Structure 1
Amino acid sequence: MGLSFGKPFIHPDFRDVFSKMPFGDKLGFLLVHSLDKGNLKWHKMPVLIGLLYLNTRRTLLEKYNLLPVGNSNGTQFNPDNFRYRTGDGKYNDPDNAEAGSQGTFFGRNMDPVDQKNELMSPDPMVVATKLLARREYKDTGKQFNILAAAWIQFMVHDWMDHLEDTQQIEIIAPEEVASQCPLKSFKFFATKEIPTNAEGIKTGHYNTRTAWWDGSAIYGANEQKLDNVRTFVDGKLKIGDDGLLLHGDNGVAISGDVRNSWAGVSILQALFTKEHNAVCDALKKEYPMLSDEELYRHARLVTSAVIAKVHTIDWTVELLKTKIMNAGMHANWYGLLGKRIKDTFGHIGGPALGGLVGLKKPNNHGVPYSLTEEFTSVYRMHSLLPSTLKLRDPTAEPDQTNTPPYQKDINIEDLLGIKGEQLLSKIGFEKQTVSMGHQACGALELWNYPVFFRDVIPQNVDGTSRPDHIDLAALEVYRDRERSVSRYNMFRRKILLPPIEKWEDLTSDEEAVKVLREVYGDDVEKLDLLVGLMAETKIKGFAISETAFNIFILMASRRLEADRFFTSNFNEKTYTKKGLQWVNTTEGLRDVIHRHYPEITDKWMKSASAFSVWDSK
């Protein structure tokens, strides 16, 4: 017997999928749908009710929004033979050795939508010019600083990049916007489309990075890159005497992933290279018989876990600054019982009480682990970067505002790529970090995409520059269409969020409504995902849209619970007692910076989190 009493209340677009749900899913859907449609939203509820909503929504997403791409049957192996992270990400899932490794398919959170006939509708350069390009810089106030912006780019270098084809595509600016475009045309390589040779989704795209949370931004995604960053002495990685990355003869930084990077990512790579080396020193002191290879393997596990923990209970908490999300993200790591209980008694109960970290076995919800096309799309966050960095002097005494004295502005575009590495070597780690910590990052809104990204030099995988400049804002619009990612309204339907019916449902900004109508007409179904995510009215305290947040709910948990090094192998036998203690006593980026640069945190960081503007309390 179905829940027919719920149907008149249910949005018409969801009645068919609701009718096919089993009884338990129907109850869960009615709970979240009632809060989605009602005036009293989940984020305004008491914390426990908010957590119930999030857990219910995540459960639905895990069931209906994890789609395999490619063959689901992989090679089985004995995990006792691989108690370490491999260079290319293989041998993590005992039932599928290839899952999450370099050169495997991106998964999907929803069926692909073929847009081959709609790639230029509306023209990506029109969309970029009229709706994305920065007019006047809008920031996030004290909530989020430029270190936070660099952090998510650091994570992207860990997680995902698409394999390109050899075919080049050219986009030419149409006459109506050509005079406002820094580039009148630009060329780029298509994303390589590959047959899956499997049931279901017939074509997909390869991830050239590893999908696991394995620190590959500093270690690389294969053995060749790994060998390039290792010293092969005491397990350590290469780092300069000045605390910055070393460079090859061509000026490219020596680190795990250096493609399309900038000084902000470079200092985080350098910081966590130092973190890895400090773990090696601590382990060697505690266990002097460990070999170079053993020290490296244990230190990589520890450093990768520290990165994952910082992202989970520090960066994300500042990104989604509400009491519910603070409780929810800490519950992901520690469980509802909290840190004190977990530190004292270990993992107790299931994922709710004890958290995802330390579960008895990993859980991929029946779908081989990967990151997804939709996950890639919601992480398009270039608007977080300002146009200039306000350089400050950390060696001076505080000024009248109790902050490091301002020296000068530096264009962010001068901090990109090889040129940025050269400038960073003159600025130094301390000045770059303190300056980024004291400046708010950009808001993820319309008309806030950095103009310098509309005429930028892309790089090859090895970090060398390409000859053709690109308009990144226009390219990102094109990429979602090319990769068959749903447009905004269909995207919302597929994750069981009510779609918009008119532009005023998306935003109350009258000018935004006017320009949206100018670009897309009255057809809200044509709205590009990136534009919708920027235009959507944000939840108070959220730096991102609720639409993007739903993919976060699903994939943030999946990155932890599908990985045996955060679940069944998160133990002293795998990490060592000293290594596990290192992870358990690190609570945020502030702790990592303090470990290596205590003079920075003691003198300049007034904020509780290193991701908030440092003079905030």
Structure 2
Amino acid sequence: MIPFLSCAKSLLFSVIKHLLVLADFHEIFQRMRPVDRLLFLIIHGLDRSGMKWHRFPVFLGLAYLSIRRHLHFKCSLINVGKNSGGVRFNPADFPYRTADGKYNDPSDEAAGSIESFFGRNMPPLDQRKGLLKPTPMEVATKLMERKEFIDTGKQLNLIAVSWIQFMTHDWMDHLESTEQFELKASYENAAYQCPLNSFKFYKTKKVDTGLDDIKEGHLNISTSWWDGSAIYGSNASQLHEVRTYKEGKLKITDGLDTAGKFRNGWIGVSALKDLFMLEHNAICDALKKEYPDLDDENLFRRARLVTSAVMAKIHTIDWTVELLKTDILLAGMRGNWYGLLGKRFKDTFGHVGGVYLGGLVGLKKPNNHGLRYSITEEFVSVYRLHSLVPDHLAIRDIDSSPGPNKSPKLSHKVDMVNLTGNRGESELSKIGFTTRMVSMGHQACGALELWNYPVWLMDVVAQNVDGTDRADHVNLASLEIYRDRERSVPRYNEFRRSLFLIPITKWDNLTDNKEVIATLNEVYGNDVEQLDLLVGMLAEKKIKGFAISETAFVIFLIMATRRLEADRFFTSDFNEEVYTRKGFEWVNTSESLKDVLDRHFPGMTSRWMNSTSAFTVWDAPPDHTNHIPLYLRLPH
């Protein structure tokens, strides 16, 4: 009887597969468990029907995203590198974040530490044969190079741009090879002029994984945890450079090459580094006052925990909410931190009810979904957001009287190329912190669209890991196309298939812009399978309120959760015992970047900021009060 039932079930699912599932997904559907197949049919059926999840009432949109996230945790987390089970340790022996990221996961001391492998959200696609087809410089010049600046309106400002670079330097940096490669412009067309005819750069270092399926991988020379390493560095020597060894505090300086050294920065990122160094030191003062017996080391360790948690919280419920400006994502991101029961309930009763009711933060134990935690190659790829960067920074006169909507007068403009890397250091002394923040706050950032990639980034000085300049300039747009191919990240259509998103069959599926379609045909011919991931994400029609593509968002959906729930300092050790009562209170009462600015620069936001969030253009109107319960709201 049992063999008969098993055969009948297999036959039933085979019929369903061929009737209801696109052929692109037959293989992955066949590998799913029966329950997951049913869940897949729900999201796939909705996607095929044209019933867009982002047009649902909030509670139904959240249900769709919850199902999708569940399926991706089952199918879209792939380990890279042999893991012999890891070395276990007692978390009580390490109630703090270490310099190199070790001793976070109690079952695997090395998880998330420096020189760990980047993981995968999908199988790698070997592109060595098509590495230069079409040439990255042709793709960048014909489809990406900025024709005229397109901004995001009032949705996002330059502080938002600075913030995401601040975060990416916290999470990821590939180890490079000592072998150089040269990219050359290999096409002739007078209508297209490359800023650089050729440039040299270092290849990503390939490392043997010891596995049979994924034989080579790449190493992350940053810690993969959300641990503030953009401030504290990712090893003991970098950490030593920024500490005073007095009362737990950091050295307060005003420069691009201090405090958690990293390459390729600009004064926007340095402003945020400065701000959170002040935050760290203020936490030390508060802890010292509350617990006078705490020594330098214990003050530092707890202040780092608190500072890192404040940054993670701001990213989750402030920055991301503005990036994905919809009620569904407002509910979703606050749900990640507070759970469906909300902040007031969690502040009163603590974490209750698991992931959904209580949120990811404060879970009884971390969840790594059965494989070593890591940042993924695909996560790196979807964070290629350089089109957000403008061509200049409009410096505001903070000595003037506020104009309409608290906007200050324009003083002058500085080209962005003069504000980056070591060249930007000389500008720091000329542009004080308040001027920097107010200027960035009042300037809209670029939109993630085709033909909006800054030309000045196509001939820019590259830097070494220690922040020193390299001799060779690079075309960053071309390099980003090359990097995805080099690292075996699938191209756009295969990337979407791997995320259960319906692939395109013709250019019209991607965009209605006839000029874009003509240029895509010129570069890729009729072969939609050759479309590069970055180009596809820039060309893709955006969901209303989203500054990024839906393709990129699905990776965000997976990794935004994973970064929190795999980390014991956001789960089992997110408590008063580890953080101290005062430190725990500090995190719980910090809701936004505005809170941090108000703490250290009283009067700045009240005088110059009209918007609700510090990541929105500051002269934008504040968010209106909506009396409809969040989960019952309909999309605008």
Provide TM-score, normalisation by structure 1: 0.97
Q: Take 2:261 and 2:75, find their aligned partners in 1: how far apart are those partners?
A: 33
Structure 2 counterpart of 1:34, from 36, 39, 45: 45
Matches within 5 A, 1:100-499: 100-176=112-188, 180-240=193-253, 244-245=254-255, 253-400=257-404, 402-499=406-503
CA contact (8 A) 1:129 1:177 kept: no
Q: Take 2:246 and 2:219, find their aligned partners in 1: how far apart are those partners?
A: 34
Q: Take 2:212 and 2:569, find their aligned partners in 1: how far apart are those partners?
A: 30
Residues 546-555 or 402-411, more deviating: 402-411
Q: Take 1:323 and 1:584, find their aligned partners in 2: how far apart are those partners?
A: 22
Q: CA deviation at 1:117?
A: 1.1
Structure 2 counterpart of 1:55, from 61, 66, 76: 66
CA contact (8 A) 2:204 2:218 kept: yes
3-state SS of the aligned residue for 2:411? strand
CA contact (8 A) 2:169 2:229 kept: yes
- Matching residue's letter, 1:479: R
1:614 aligns with 2:625: no
CA contact (8 A) 1:157 1:257 kept: no
1:556 aligns with 2:560: yes
Structure 1 counterpart of 2:26, from 15, 32, 57: 15
Q: Which runs of 5+ in 2 are unaligned?
A: 1-8, 622-636
Q: CA deviation at 1:26?
A: 1.1
- Matching residue's letter, 2:353: G
- Matching residue's letter, 2:129: N
- 1:68 is matched with 79
Q: CA deviation at 1:253?
A: 2.1
Q: Take 1:564 and 1:553, find their aligned partners in 2: how far apart are those partners?
A: 20
Residues 324-333 or 68-77, more deviating: 68-77
Q: CA deviation at 1:177?
A: 5.0
- Matching residue's letter, 1:239: I
Q: Take 1:212 and 1:397, find their aligned partners in 2: how far apart are those partners?
A: 43
- Matching residue's letter, 1:220: G
Q: CA deviation at 1:199?
A: 4.3
Q: CA deviation at 1:521?
A: 0.2
Q: Take 2:400 and 2:221, find their aligned partners in 1: how far apart are those partners?
A: 44
Q: Take 2:582 and 2:404, find their aligned partners in 1: how far apart are those partners?
A: 43
Q: Take 1:340 and 1:380, find their aligned partners in 2: how far apart are those partners?
A: 36
- 1:249 is matched with none
- Matching residue's letter, 2:337: W
Q: CA deviation at 1:40?
A: 1.9
- Matching residue's letter, 2:32: M
3-state SS of the aligned residue for 2:469? coil
CA contact (8 A) 1:334 1:342 kept: yes
3-state SS of the aligned residue for 2:603? helix
1:279-310, CA deviations, whole angstroms, 9 ceiling, x for partnerless residues?
00000000000000000000000000000000
3-state SS of the aligned residue for 1:188? strand
Q: CA deviation at 1:511?
A: 0.8
Q: CA deviation at 1:74?
A: 1.3
Q: CA deviation at 1:37?
A: 1.5
- Matching residue's letter, 1:54: L
- Matching residue's letter, 1:236: K
Q: CA deviation at 1:197?
A: 1.4
- Matching residue's letter, 2:235: N
CA contact (8 A) 1:87 1:220 kept: yes
Q: CA deviation at 1:551?
A: 0.2
Residues 7-16 or 254-263, more deviating: 7-16
CA contact (8 A) 2:157 2:615 kept: yes
- In structure 2, relative to structure 1, the CA distance for the partners of 1:577 and 1:177 (3 Å cut) is farther
- % of aligned pairs identical? 60
Q: Take 1:575 and 1:227, find their aligned partners in 2: how far apart are those partners?
A: 22
Q: CA deviation at 1:367?
A: 1.2
Q: Take 2:308 and 2:189, find their aligned partners in 1: how far apart are those partners?
A: 45
1:439-491, CA deviations, whole angstroms, 9 ceiling, x for partnerless residues?
11000010000000000001111101000000000000000000000000000
- Matching residue's letter, 1:130: K
Structure 2 counterpart of 1:96, from 105, 108, 122: 108
* CA RMSD in angstroms, aligned pairs only: 1.1
Q: Take 1:401 and 1:230, find their aligned partners in 2: how far apart are those partners?
A: 41
1:173-231, CA deviations, whole angstroms, 9 ceiling, x for partnerless residues?
12425861111110000000000113431110000100000000000000000000111
- In structure 2, relative to structure 1, the CA distance for the partners of 1:517 and 1:268 (3 Å cut) is same
Q: Take 1:289 and 1:370, find their aligned partners in 2: how far apart are those partners?
A: 37
Q: Take 1:232 and 1:401, find their aligned partners in 2: how far apart are those partners?
A: 44
Structure 1 counterpart of 2:508, from 504, 511, 516: 504
Question: How many residues of Structure 1 are paired with residues of Structure 2 in the alignment?
Answer: 608
CA contact (8 A) 1:504 1:513 kept: yes
Q: Take 2:514 and 2:114, find their aligned partners in 1: how far apart are those partners?
A: 45
Q: CA deviation at 1:16?
A: 2.7
3-state SS of the aligned residue for 2:463? coil
Residues 214-223 or 30-39, more deviating: 30-39
- Matching residue's letter, 1:81: D
CA contact (8 A) 1:446 1:534 kept: yes
CA contact (8 A) 2:151 2:445 kept: yes
Q: Take 2:560 and 2:244, find their aligned partners in 1: how far apart are those partners?
A: 33
CA contact (8 A) 1:126 1:177 kept: no
- Matching residue's letter, 2:165: Q
Structure 2 counterpart of 1:587, from 565, 588, 591: 591
Structure 1 counterpart of 2:546, from 542, 545, 555: 542
CA contact (8 A) 1:158 1:257 kept: no
